Amino acid sequence: MTFPTRLRRRASGSPVRSTVALAVAAIATLTTVVGTGGTAHADTTIYFDEAGDAPTISLIGDSTLSGVRWYDEYGDLERYNFVFDAESCRRTVERSCWSREDIRAETALVTMQRLSGQLGEVMVVMSGYNDPGYSFASSVDTIVAEAKRQGIPQVIWLTLRTAKVSYEEPTHLANANVYREDNRILYEKADEYGDYLQVADWSTHAADQSGWFEYDGVHLTTDGVDAVTTYIADRVDEALVGERLTAEYPAWVLLESGDSGNVVISAQEALIEAGVSIDGGADGVYGAATAAAVETFQRDNELVVTGTIDDATAAVLGVHTPDPATDTTQPATEPATVASEPAAGASEPAAGASEPAAGAAPLAGETAQDPPTPVAANDAALGGEGDGGGLPRSVTVPVLSLGALALAVFLRRRQVVARRARARRQPGARRPVTA
């Protein structure tokens, strides 16, 4: 460790000052590495009022929408006057996780409350990718209740992308399997709230468009920014003229080895009811035993044998109601997250995504801005409070500071011992008297 020149000079003074100097330098170094945490809210609200007499809309989202701001490309959204606020690691209602720029974003709920009275005729929500699955349903209820309290006429919520998605919520509480379940919840809530909550199926619309996303499958490239702004503007157009956005027959999402969750349980129970046994029963994990059972069912029902549950297989199983206007004999175009299939007889692991999110350089003029992906490893290393990764910062920094002080005392002690040893070796130095 190299100390600043000023501190090196002071270290040659008294023992107390030397120790303090070493401690200060060590603590400063640790503080630089660990950080002390940032503010809970970055100034990320964008206002656009150059659309003349067009209606005002609002958009609130997490990092999957933040790319629009990072690239500063609002595209067809500029058909409307709008208020835009999207930030990395944002959660819908629960406290947000720590982002790479070392802040906790406001939740979607708090952002709505801060912007109360400014959210316009339609509020578009693109949030949920950082939400634990267990809280998503209640979070949707909370957002809808707040929108009604503020008198916002309509809410549009975009489904979460599940195709080719490796992104995982930083504390590992959500991945593509959870996002599939979240989408099911959105449709249930749309039925509950009628046309007040409209579901825009971004997941199906973007299923085959890998070029719109970074390699984690959810964060936008420049092409993705253009696509999502056009998609949202078109859905707002439809909503404002009274069209229904929520699909009467939601698209089926392909199930395959590595998937897990309630939808897998439903499929396994349907297989068992159809007389096809599954080693391990309906455990909610799509592994080798489930794939083998699906193949048996497909052969018995003269379906294409793939070992995966496409929309045709799901329809015959009775776990999916296809749109009568579409051809249900073809496999679904939206595959779920793929994980390595375990060997036959092995335990069936749940799917999990481990890829860190890819990023793009921040725009000029933005301070310490995130690339368009939060990275879980960074959050765990920083040990953010309440984010499930490491010790709280309020504990980490004091502990490391005490450790630095102890190190400084140890180094000072070695310095004193070395000086005494040199003094004893000098000619004329006092020697201990021996008998």
pLDDT tens digits, 301-344? 999 998 988 878 988 888 777 767 655 444 444 444 444 444 44
**What average pLDDT does range 69-94 have in this prediction?**
96
Nearest in space to 271 (alpha carbons), one of 227, 303, 318, 231 = 318
**What average pLDDT does range 285-298 have in this prediction?**
90
**Rounded Cα gap, residues 151 and 260, in angstroms:** 39
The predicted pLDDT at position 428 comes to 57
Least confident piece of the model among 193-197, 223-227, 283-287, 418-422 = 418-422
Q: How far is CA 340 from CA 255, 310, 337, 344, in A?
A: 14, 19, 10, 12
Confidence band of 409 (pLDDT split at 50, 70, 90): low
The predicted pLDDT at position 355 comes to 40
Adjacency order of strands within the sheet including 154-158: 46-48, 81-86, 56-61, 122-126, 154-158, 197-200
The predicted pLDDT at position 425 comes to 61
Least confident piece of the model among 190-194, 199-203, 322-326, 339-343 = 339-343
Within 13 Å and on the Cβ side, how many CA atoms surround 109?
18
Q: What is the pLDDT of residues 108-158, one digit of tens each?
A: 999 999 999 999 999 999 999 999 989 999 999 999 999 999 999 999 999
- Cβ-based burial of 36 (10 A; exposed 0-12, middle 13-18, buried ≥19): exposed
Which of 139-143, 243-247, 380-384 has the largest mean confidence?
139-143
Higher-confidence position of 4 and 122: 122
Q: Tell me if 336 sits within 8 A of 180, measured CB to CB.
A: yes
Confidence band of 401 (pLDDT split at 50, 70, 90): low
The predicted pLDDT at position 87 comes to 93
Token digits of residue 324: 């009568």
* Prediction pTM value: 0.62
Q: Residue 311: enclosing H or E segment and its boundaries?
A: helix 311-317
The predicted pLDDT at position 259 comes to 80
What φ, ψ does residue 168 adopt, rounded to 5°? -135, 135
The predicted pLDDT at position 140 comes to 97
Arithmetic mean of pLDDT over the chain: 76
Domain boundaries, the chain: 5-34+407-425, 46-240, 252-333
Confidence band of 61 (pLDDT split at 50, 70, 90): very high
**Rounded Cα gap, residues 115 and 112, in angstroms:** 5
* DSSP-assigned beta bridge partners for residue 123: 58, 155
**What average pLDDT does range 270-285 have in this prediction?**
89
- Cβ-based burial of 255 (10 A; exposed 0-12, middle 13-18, buried ≥19): buried
**What average pLDDT does range 239-264 have in this prediction?**
82
Query: For residue 348, is pLDDT > 60?
Result: no
Query: Is 252-333 CATH 3.30.70.20?
Result: no
The predicted pLDDT at position 21 comes to 45
The predicted pLDDT at position 420 comes to 66
Token digits of residue 41: 């809210």
Query: For residue 107, is pLDDT > 60?
Result: yes
R_g of the chain, CA atoms, integer Å: 29
The predicted pLDDT at position 125 comes to 98
Nearest in space to 160 (alpha carbons), one of 137, 144, 177 = 177
Query: For residue 13, is pLDDT > 80?
Result: no
Please identify which residue in the block is written with the tokens 């209602």. 93
**Rounded Cα gap, residues 73 and 40, in angstroms:** 26
Q: Residue 156: enclosing H or E segment and its boundaries?
A: strand 154-158
Query: For residue 232, is pLDDT > 70?
Result: yes
Confidence band of 206 (pLDDT split at 50, 70, 90): very high
Choices 3.30.499.10, 3.40.50.1110, 3.30.230.10, 3.40.50.300: CATH for 46-240 = 3.40.50.1110
The predicted pLDDT at position 286 comes to 87
**What average pLDDT does range 358-365 have in this prediction?**
35
